[in-house]
């Protein structure tokens, strides 16, 4: 995993954790509001986090344009409620826990 800087709109965010094996882009609602991102579209999914807690998703933001070191990317983000997600390890050699999406 790497720590990178990302630009979304006019906002630059430093110290973003980049997980190359990730299949899900996640942002919490508080950061979405702070960045001025559009309202997320509803989604019928819930997310099971590492503590096995099932979390209702706020929604999806599709086709969000962002820049990583000046290179443009288009991504879809899952917006979560403002929750604290515990991390199992700070050892970058270990694999992070998987996220499980379940349809409601």
Any idea what the CATH number is for the domain that residue 83 is in?
A: 2.40.70
User: Is the pTM value of this prediction over 0.75?
Assistant: no
The band of 93, judged by pLDDT with boundaries at 50, 70 and 90, is very low
Domain ranges, residue 81? 2-103
Are the C-beta atoms of residues 66 and 76 closer than 8 Å to each other?
no
Section 46-64 average pLDDT:
83
The band of 97, judged by pLDDT with boundaries at 50, 70 and 90, is very low
pLDDT at 28: 86
pLDDT at 59: 93
Beta-strand relationship, 26-28 and 71-80: parallel
Query: For residues 31 and 33, what is the distance between their CA atoms, to the nearest angstrom?
Result: 5
Section 77-99 average pLDDT:
55
């Amino acid at each position: 995993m790497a720590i990178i800087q990302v630009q979304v709109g006019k906002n630059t965010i430093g110290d973003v954790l980049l997980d190359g094996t990730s299949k899900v882009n996640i942002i919490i609602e508080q950061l979405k509001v702070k960045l001025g991102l559009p309202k997320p579209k509803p989604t019928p999914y819930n997310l099971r986090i590492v503590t096995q807690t099932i979390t209702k998703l706020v929604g999806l933001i599709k086709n969000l344009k962002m820049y990583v070191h000046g290179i443009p990317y288009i991504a879809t983000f899952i917006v979560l409620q403002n929750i604290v997600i515990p991390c199992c390890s700070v050892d970058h050699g270990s694999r992070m826990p998987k996220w499980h999406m379940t349809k409601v």
